[in-house]
Amino acid sequence: MSTRERLIDATRELLWERGYSATSPRDILDRADVGQGSMYHHFSGKAALALAVIEGNRDAMISAGEDTLGGSGTAFERISGYLLRDRDALKGCKMGRLTEDSEVMENDALRQPVHETLLWYRERLTALLEEGQRDGEFRASFVPADVAAAIVATLQGGYVLAKADNSVAPYSAAIAGVLELLAAQRVDSGS
Amino acid sequence: MSTRERLIDATRELLWERGYSATSPRDILDRADVGQGSMYHHFSGKAALALAVIEGNRDAMISAGEDTLGGSGTAFERISGYLLRDRDALKGCKMGRLTEDSEVMENDALRQPVHETLLWYRERLTALLEEGQRDGEFRASFVPADVAAAIVATLQGGYVLAKADNSVAPYSAAIAGVLELLAAQRVDSGS
DNA sequence: GTCTATAATTGGATAGAC
DNA sequence: GTCTATCCAATTATAGAC
């Protein structure tokens, strides 16, 4: 693995674990086992390195999302597959956590890929819910864009609850809760 | 207002705006318009000052929650009143944001009041949803503790979406979405 | 109780050897 | 391309005057 790749990987891990502000160049160099000069040879500084990482995360997350949400099965099956995907809830979302990092939110270049990722998920879920309503799978009694936002928010908020509780239990409960409510929207749900 | 109170207020604002790690003693002293020595006279350091603030936030948030969730009206009315309460979504939750601050989560004393606050809300909403099911207001087709976690998570995640979008729109959509799903659980909802 | 001065450490970046 | 040495500012805390 190249020095550049080692820098990217170390930064990716640290941004996930501690965020941007709390990650120092020294932390990155120690974890990548690289000298001071190498980082400033490959990148103009900490912000440029972080930007490369965050843009890579955006691409990977959108790709993974399309694999799950654009797969086969009913809309409900695809959404529940997405929500129940195996995750380390105590680590949280590598994108979502950056929204609580002021330094990231105040830097338009860094905020942009975070924005694009979460927007993509809301839009993709909106399209899937609309499809479900059109096909008669779901009742027409909810607004797809609203429920899409609620689904993404439940995931993001589930991580918040897990971290506060130092336990995955409230994350799992939140996911289960939104699925129970969504299941009741299926026309064959018997309600 | 006493020097001590000014220190507390300045710290409360800064913890909400930037979190704990990104707030320096100097930031606090500047905003409180207090000299270096005063802070170390009233508190043992930054952590002790933050603890006083976070515990105060916990007490205020639980008190405000009981006012709304323990008020009059049906369970649905009280929950929608809580969710639709006027909030500055771009500022987010002063407690929730601390869960993304590693320094806070790794300090048990600081994490404890954050945990207690979010736990209290989940438990209070669970009790309210159970009450609604017992009274025949809600169907028995959902697990109260799951939906309670989903409601709190939607709020917390709604703030994440708002910050990423630099707009309150996705926050409002997420709240609307969870309310649309919950409304369908009312026995007189016609679904 | 509050102030200014200062210390020790870390954060982020640069210089220049190899 | 990578390294070590170094620089300047900011962070957190202490000392000691008033």
- Which residues contact residue A86 at a Cβ distance below 8 angstroms, ignoring those fewer than 6 apart? none
Under the banding of pLDDT at 50, 70 and 90, the label for residue A190 is low
The pLDDT assigned to A5 comes to: 96
Indicate which of A102, A139, A154 best probes the interface with B, i.e. most B CBs within 10 Å of its own CB: A154
List the structure tokens of A62.
Answer: 């959108």
Is residue B84 less than 8 Å (CB to CB) from chain A? Answer: no
User: Rounded to the nearest 10 degrees, what angle do helices A169-183 and B169-183 cross at?
Assistant: 60
At A120-154, the pLDDT tens digits run 999 999 999 999 999 999 999 999 999 999 999 99
Residue A189 has pLDDT above 90, yes or no: no
Q: Where are the beta strands (DSSP E) in A63-176?
A: none
Asked whether B22 and B50 are in contact (CB, 8 A), the reply is no
Query: What pTM was estimated for this model as a whole?
Result: 0.98
- What does each C-alpha distance from A111 to A117, A122, B39, B110 come to in angstroms? 10, 17, 35, 28
Asked whether A97 and B100 are in contact (CB, 8 A), the reply is yes
Widest CA span of chain A, in angstroms?
A: 65
Distance CA B78, CA B111 (A): 28
* Contact between the CB of B46 and strand D at under 7 Å: yes
Rounded average pLDDT over A75-102:
98
Residue of A172 and A35 predicted with greater confidence: A172
List the structure tokens of A81.
Answer: 């597959």
Residue A116 has pLDDT above 90, yes or no: yes
List the structure tokens of B11.
Answer: 């710290």
Residue A89 has pLDDT above 90, yes or no: yes
Rounded average pLDDT over A70-94:
98
Chain B residues 24 to 43 whose Cβ lies within 7 Å of strand D are: 24-27, 36-37, 40
- Cα of B44 to nearest chain A Cα, Å: 23
Rounded average pLDDT over A64-79:
97
Indicate which of A61, A143, A152, A186 best probes the interface with B, i.e. most B CBs within 10 Å of its own CB: A152
Could you list the mean pLDDT of each consecutive 10-residue stretch along chain B, which spans 191 residues?
A: 95 98 97 94 97 98 98 97 98 98 98 98 98 98 98 99 98 99 90 55
Distance CA B28, CA B25 (A): 5
Residue A63 has pLDDT above 60, yes or no: yes
Backbone phi, psi, residue B186, to 5° = -75, 140
- What does each C-alpha distance from A153 to A30, A61, A110, B108, B151 come to in angstroms? 35, 16, 21, 27, 10
The pLDDT assigned to A191 comes to: 55
Q: B99: how many CB neighbours lie within 10 A of its CB?
A: 26
List the structure tokens of B150.
Answer: 């989903």
The DSSP code for B94 is: T
Rounded average pLDDT over A58-67:
98
The pLDDT assigned to B191 comes to: 55
